[in-house]
Homo-oligomer: A and B are copies of this chain.
Amino acid sequence: MLGATDGRTREKAGAGMADQHDDEVLERDEDERDAYALDESLRGRLKALVAAGDVDGIDALMEPLHPADIADLLEQVSDGERESWLALWSRGIDGEVLSELDWGLREEVIALLPGDVLADAVRELDSDDVVDLVEDLEDDQIEAILEVLEPADRVAVEQALAYPEETAGRLMQREVVHAPEHWTVGEMIDYLRAHAGQLPEQFYHVILTDPRMKPTGYVTLGRLLSSARQTPLQDIVEDSFRVIPATQHEDDVAYAFNQYHLISAPVVDEDGRLVGVITIDDAMIVLDEGAEEEILKLAGVGEESSLSDRVLETTKQRFPWLFVNLITAILASLVIAQFEDAIAQIVALAVLMPIVASMGGNAGTQSLTVAVRALATRDLTSSNLMRVVLREGVVGLINGAAFALVMGIVGLVWFGSPALGGVIAAAMVINLFVAGLAGILIPVVLDRLNIDPALASGAFVTTVTDVVGFFAFLGLAVVFLL
Q: In the complex, given contacts A2-B198, A295-B373, A326-B407, what are 4 additional A-B residue pairs having Cβ atoms less than 8 angstroms apart? A: A10-B187, A21-B169, A76-B383, A204-B204
Q: How large is the interface on A (under 10, 10 to 19, 20 to 34, 35 or more residues)?
A: 35 or more
Q: B359 to A322, Cβ gap below 8 A?
A: yes
Given A228-B193, A276-B18, A10–B180 Cβ distance below 8 Å? yes
Contact between A370 and B305 (Cβ–Cβ < 8 Å)? yes
- Judging by beta carbons under 8 Å apart, are B381 and A37 in contact? yes
List of B residues within 8 angstroms of A261 by Cβ: 68, 281
**Could you say which of A66, A176, A182, A358 has the most chain B C-beta atoms within 10 Å of its C-beta?**
A358
For window 354-410 of chain A, which residues contact chain B by CB distance below 8 Å?
354-355, 357-359, 362-363, 365-366, 368-370, 373-374, 377-384, 387-388, 391, 394-395, 398-399, 402-403, 406-407, 410
Contacts of A347 in B (CB 8 A): 340, 343-344, 350
**Residue A234 is within 8 A (CB to CB) of chain B in the complex:** no
User: Top 8 A-B pairs ranked by shortest CB distance?
Assistant: A291-B291, A299-B369, A221-B221, A350-B350, A196-B226, A329-B355, A192-B226, A14-B191
Q: Chain B contacts of A203 at CB under 8 A? A: 222
A62 within 8 A of B: no
Mask, A311-350, CB within 8 Å of B = 1, is 1001100110111011011101100110010011001111
Q: How far is the CA of A394 from the CA of B382 in the complex (A)?
A: 46
Docked complex Cα distance between A404 and B381 (Å):
43
A482 on interface, CB distance cutoff 8 Å? no
Within 8 A of B (CB), among A263-295: 263, 269-270, 273-276, 280-281, 283-284, 287-288, 291-292, 294-295
Of the candidates B13, B307, B359, the one whose C-beta lies within 8 Å of that of A379 is: B307
Residues of B within 8 A of A177 (CB): 14-15
Given the interface pairs A14-B178, A252-B36, A326-B406, the reply to whether A354 lies near B355 with Cβ below 8 Å is: no
A162 at the B interface (CB under 8 A): yes
In the complex, whether A479 has a CB less than 8 A from a CB of chain B is no
